[in-house]
């Protein structure tokens, strides 16, 4: 179908609706929601109420006792998770978060203010779990759980990407992503889930990665990358899979060996590891960094994450290195140790090249590729020629989870500054901890959700437009696979002429390898900028 044009979409209506916010509302129109999960992908992981249905249907085919299931689910989680009860109780509705959400900025819909989105469940919490709400009802901001309320939850909690920008501004430190996680768990209890999350979950559980790539397919893709590097660079690198006794297990998002532009980042990793002689291995089962269980339930996240430590143990490695993946780092940095650890069979990570001990990863035993690479550069272990990136004028998008869930702010910038001569930051309230989401994270980066993605990504794109016009930026670099999949569409829509690349693609361009043949193109096969232009760039 024909989607609205940018000049139409940018006419954002900020007039609040006339009715009470307690009245459930959800406008299931084309372009503003994701398709429902297929029965088979629920059955494959034993999740309830597998059926054919559509969010736009009047009848969602809920189980007859759906209301009891959801309320019992709430009660259970209020007891198990102190954070959930706290986040239901402590908000004073100060509104500091209200205009910080990219979906609110892009849609003007008040129910996308994080405070009001959270009130959609708090109102139900008050009605059934607080004395004031039970007695005073609406006067206390309480409302009954009805099917329309459930539909409203589904609509708005799949318009939150769990990016946690609002949480940066909350004086109480309420983690809005955790509220969204709980609501999505509750929706999952009655079979209300989306295809783009559920199929990757099922594929991960059965095969090890989102795409369902089996071991021979994985090997075929990695071998292809090795051949391409040899053709382009003249150096034969090794890329071992399931190699027992390697020092390091390397885990990447599966999109790195499937999609574009992700693939060029994969080339960068492989070249780097060869150049520093890293003894590492891929695993054909731990062949996915991403964990869409984070968008389903705690239990599913744990199940899907288990393969990392399990494969590390089976292969007998010392520690784990992780690639340019976004939400993986929230799972790894904040949950993995307590979910599936302690990984006391691994060793605290030490770079075999520089001897640097990564103390920050002492408990998880898992290091981010940007930490590893920045340390190599810092110790002068890499020969880099930034002129090979002279055709790029670069900015950096802090991918939400590496930035806000693990504080990965300096390392990517340090790498970029060492491999590119032209680097310009976007405005300070749109980067680092305050970075704006791509608008498509947490599993909602689907084709059918196009309008809402363009709305949600608008603040990010607007900041890119600023550096494009001011400094001539033509490349947005980032360290997340969802970014690499969805930002090209977003930028083509709002800021045509800016491309997207991983940080290790830029590193791969600049890396001078021993024994390389004369290089005339970057990893995409594009010719380097002529020497004269480089000097004046």
Partner 1 sequence: MPTFEANGTVYEVDEDGFLENPEIWNEAVAKDFAQSEDITDLTPDHWKVINYLRNYYLGFGIAPMVRKVCKETGFKLNEIYGLFPSGPAKGACKLAGLPKPTGCV
Q: How far is the CB of 473 from partner 1 (least distance, A)?
A: 22
Whole-number minimum distance, CB 103 to partner 1, in Å? 20
In the bound state with partner 1, the residue whose beta carbon lies nearer, of 100 and 210, is 210
Least Å distance between CB 325 and partner 1?
8
Instruction: State residue 33 phi and psi, 5-degree precision.
Output: -155, 165
Residue numbers 10-39 binding partner 1 by CB under 8 A: 35, 38
Long-range contacts of the stretch 178-183 (C-beta < 8 A, 24+)? 178/81, 178/83, 178/84, 178/87, 179/84, 179/87, 179/117, 179/118, 179/121, 180/117, 180/442, 181/294, 181/295, 181/298, 182/77, 182/81, 182/84, 182/121, 183/121, 183/153, 183/157
- Walk across the sheet containing 366-368 and list its strands: 280-281, 248-251, 319-322, 366-368
Nearby residues of 357 by Cβ (< 8 Å), 6 or more positions away = 348, 349, 350
Site for partner 1 in 39-58 (CB under 8 A): 52, 54
Mask for 220-259, x = binds partner 1 (CB under 8 A): xx--x---x------------------------xxx-xxx
Which residues, 459 to 488, sit near partner 1 by CB under 8 A? 480-482, 484-485
Assess 196 for contact with partner 1 (CB under 8 A).
Answer: yes
Burial grade of 217 (CB within 10 A; 0-12, 13-18, 19 or more): middle
Name the token pair of 218. 């994985």
User: In Å, how far are 21, 118, 350 from 26, measured between CA atoms?
Assistant: 12, 15, 51
**Residue 422: both structure tokens together:** 């032209």
Calculate Rg over the CA atoms of the chain.
23
Nearest to 395 by CA among 413, 409, 379: 413
Q: Is 366 helix (H, G, I), strand (E, B) or coil?
A: strand
Minimum gap (Å) between residue 452 Cβ and partner 1: 16
Residue placing its CB nearer to partner 1 in the complex, 53 or 471: 53
439: which DSSP letter? S
Smallest distance from partner 1 to CB 285, Å: 16
Sequence-distant (6+) residues with CB within 8 A of 86 are none
Please tell me the count of residues contacting partner 1 according to CB under 8 A: 41
Among 404, 405, 369, CA closest to 506: 369
Q: With respect to partner 1, which residue has the nearer C-beta, 241 or 384?
A: 241
Stretch that binds partner 1, among 69-77, 110-118, 207-215, 242-250 (CB under 8 A): 207-215
Interface residue with partner 1 among 51, 67, 77, 195 (CB under 8 A) is 195
Beta carbon nearer to partner 1, 137 or 217: 217
Please state the closest distance from residue 35 (CB atom) to partner 1, in A.
4
Question: Based on CB atoms, which residue is closest to partner 1, 213 or 507?
Answer: 213
Binders in 259-298 for partner 1, by CB under 8 A: 259-260, 262-263, 290, 292
Q: Could you list the residues that contact partner 1 (CB under 8 A)?
A: 35, 38, 52, 54, 195-196, 199-200, 203, 209-214, 216-217, 220-221, 224, 228, 253-255, 257-260, 262-263, 290, 292, 325, 445, 447-448, 480-482, 484-485
């Amino acid at each position: 179908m024909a989607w609205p044009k940018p000049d139409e979409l940018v006419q954002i209506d900020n007039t609040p609706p006339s009715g009470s916010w307690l009245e459930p509302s959800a406008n299931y129109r084309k372009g503003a929601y994701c398709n429902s999960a297929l029965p088979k992908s629920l059955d494959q992981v034993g999740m309830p109420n597998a059926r054919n249905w559509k969010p736009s249907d009047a009848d969602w085919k809920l189980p007859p006792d759906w209301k009891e299931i959801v309320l019992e689910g709430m009660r259970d989680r209020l007891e198990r998770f102190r954070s959930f009860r706290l986040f239901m109780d402590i908000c004073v509705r100060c509104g500091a978060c209200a205009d910080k959400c990219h979906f609110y900025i892009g849609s003007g819909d008040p129910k996308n203010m994080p405070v009001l989105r959270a009130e959609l469940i708090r109102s139900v919490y008050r009605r059934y779990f607080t004395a004031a709400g039970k007695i005073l009802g609406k006067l206390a901001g309480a409302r009954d759980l009805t099917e329309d309320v459930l539909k409203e939850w589904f609509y708005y909690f799949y318009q939150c990407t769990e990016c946690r920008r609002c949480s940066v501004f909350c004086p109480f430190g309420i983690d809005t992503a955790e509220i969204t996680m709980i609501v999505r768990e509750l929706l999952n209890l009655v079979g209300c889930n989306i295809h783009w999350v559920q199929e990757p979950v099922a594929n991960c559980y059965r095969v090890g990665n989102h795409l369902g790539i089996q071991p021979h397919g994985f090997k075929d893709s990695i071998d292809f990358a090795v051949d391409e590097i040899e053709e382009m660079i003249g150096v034969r690198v090794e890329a071992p899979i399931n190699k027992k006794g390697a020092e390091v297990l390397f885990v990447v998002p599966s999109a790195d060996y499937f999609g574009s532009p992700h693939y060029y980042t994969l080339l960068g990793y492989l070249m780097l590891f060869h150049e520093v002689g890293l003894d590492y291995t891929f695993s054909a089962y731990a062949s996915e960094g991403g964990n869409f269980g984070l968008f389903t339930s705690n239990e599913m996240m744990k199940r899907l994450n288990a393969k990392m430590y399990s494969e590390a143990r089976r292969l007998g490695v010392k520690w784990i290195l992780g690639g340019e993946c976004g939400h993986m780092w929230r799972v790894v940095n904040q949950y993995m140790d307590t979910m599936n650890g302690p990984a006391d069979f691994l060793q605290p990570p030490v770079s075999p090249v520089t001897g640097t001990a990564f103390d920050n990863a002492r408990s998880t035993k898992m290091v981010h590729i940007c930490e590893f690479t920045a340390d190599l550069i810092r110790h002068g272990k890499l020969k880099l020629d930034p002129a090979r990136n002279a055709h790029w004028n670069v900015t950096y998008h802090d991918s939400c989870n590496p930035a806000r869930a693990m504080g990965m702010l300096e390392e990517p910038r340090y790498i970029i500054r060492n491999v590119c001569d032209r680097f310009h930051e976007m405005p300070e309230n749109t980067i680092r901890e305050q970075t704006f989401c791509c608008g498509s994270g947490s599993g909602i980066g689907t084709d059918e959700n196009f309008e809402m993605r363009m709305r949600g990504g608008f603040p990010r794109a607007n900041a890119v437009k600023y550096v494009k016009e001011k400094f001539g930026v033509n490349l947005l670099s980032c360290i997340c696979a969802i970014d690499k999949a969805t930002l090209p569409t977003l930028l083509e829509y709002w800021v045509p002429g800016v491309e997207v690349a991983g940080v290790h693609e830029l590193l791969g361009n600049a890396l001078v390898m021993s024994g390389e043949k004369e290089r005339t193109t970057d990893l995409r096969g594009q010719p380097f900028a002529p020497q004269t232009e480089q000097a004046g760039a």
